[in-house]
Amino acid sequence: MALLAGLRVPARSLLRAGARLRDAALGRWERAAGGGGDGARSFGSQRVLVEPDAATGVAVMKLWNPPVNSLSLDLLTELVISLEKLENEKTFRGIILTSDLPGIFSAGLDLTEMCGRNPAHYAEYWKALQELWLRLYQTHLVVIAAINGASPAGGCLLALSCDYRVLADNPKFIIGLNETLLGIVAPFWFKDTMINTIGHRATERALQLGLLFRPAEALQVGVVDQVVPEGQVQGAALSAMTQWLAIPDHARQLTKSMMRKATADRLLTQREADIQNFVSFLSRDSIQKALQVYLEKLRQKKG
Ligand SMILES: CCCCCCCC/C=C\C/C=C/C(=O)SCCNC(=O)CCNC(=O)[C@H](O)C(C)(C)COP(=O)(O)OP(=O)(O)OC[C@H]1O[C@@H](n2cnc3c(N)ncnc32)[C@H](O)[C@@H]1OP(=O)(O)O
């Protein structure tokens, strides 16, 4: 059951158990080692599968961090590495970012990385998140999110950092920056990313109320660009990609940079202070207790 949204996400337990077994077996991407669409080999890490198609210049990047694709330190690191690898391959011009887990795009930041650890760990974790956002937000590649599941908080940030968002039409697939519901505050660069997408007033309302939008509302407010029937999300993302890739790269890339640089620079100029803010905020007893209680509720809701 989805605790925050008050929605049930049924029948994933069995899939999760299977996923855990696959995880334990490792050799994560052996099943995909045969290669992508144009004979280009799939590559990836334990938690990120990349299926490149050299003919189209588009790679599908799939998140796989069971049970809910939470953005653990490992997943963040693997995402940055995969992104960097694609950026360095001249053949590739676009990425479809999606999930390999049914019903979940990403549950956002990994709460277990933020609870009961030491300040050095919090600092390392936050730096890794900053790194992923800075790279994803500013990449010269076109990135389209094919959102095939719920994406609260950090999951929403991931989607908002892409150039275009397609959401599968399922009322359980909620999306939004719901941090206030956890008693925490969305960092300024989360807020800026949302403002750049849906505007100031809509962001203020969404952030203060911790709104998690269902597909129709997400489309209306502009958090996503397109809602399509489940099962068509990747196809729709690929169709949208055709339009983006029809634009000359240099013009599109310079325009992207022009639109996003000031936002990214704002974090770059105060990166260390942002880490220290996060560490001291997270080190407060009251915040630790609130996060523990929240995590415990998530764990117990199945019982
Ligand atoms: C003054 C300024 C100071 C600045 C400082 C800034 C501080 C702010 C910092 C950061 C911003 C935070 C961003 C975030 O992203 S916080 C995380 C927010 N995410 C959520 O709240 C999502 C919580 N999860 C859910 O709602 C649901 O799990 C679901 C809808 C994603 C999926 O539902 P369902 O399929 O029913 O799965 P379960 O709920 O049963 O969960 C399965 C399993 O997974 C664990 N889990 C879920 N979410 C997380 C998570 N985010 N991190 C870690 N673990 C998670 C859950 O506990 C279950 O575990 P199990 O019982 O052991 O199997």
Average pLDDT on 64-78 reads 98
Ligand 1 atom closest to Cα of residue 274: 4
Q: Is residue 256 part of a domain?
A: yes
Residues 6+ apart with CB under 8 A from 139: 83, 87, 95
Q: How far apart are CA 51 and CA 234, in angstroms?
A: 13
Q: Is the pLDDT of residue 36 over 90?
A: no
| pTM summary value | 0.90
- ipTM of this model? 0.96
Range(s) of the domain holding residue 261: 13-302
Check which CATH number belongs to the domain holding 130 and give it. 3.90.226.10
Ligand 1 atom closest to Cα of residue 174: 30
Average pLDDT on 28-51 reads 64
Q: How far apart are CA 59 and CA 95, in angstroms?
A: 5
Q: Is residue 7 part of a domain?
A: no
Q: Is residue 272 part of a domain?
A: yes
Q: How far apart are CA 269 and CA 272, in angstroms?
A: 8
Going by pLDDT thresholds of 50, 70 and 90, the confidence category of residue 303 is low
Q: Is residue 224 part of a domain?
A: yes
Q: How many domains does the chain have?
A: 1
Q: What residues line ligand 1, using a CB cutoff of 6 Å?
A: 1-4, 9, 12, 67-68, 70, 104, 107-112, 150, 152-154, 179, 182, 184-187, 277-278, 281, 298-299, 302
Q: Is the pLDDT of residue 159 over 70?
A: yes
Q: Is residue 227 part of a domain?
A: yes
Q: How far apart are CA 255 and CA 287, in angstroms?
A: 40
Q: Is residue 248 part of a domain?
A: yes
Q: Is residue 1 part of a domain?
A: no
Q: Is residue 8 part of a domain?
A: no
Say whether 94 is catalytic: no
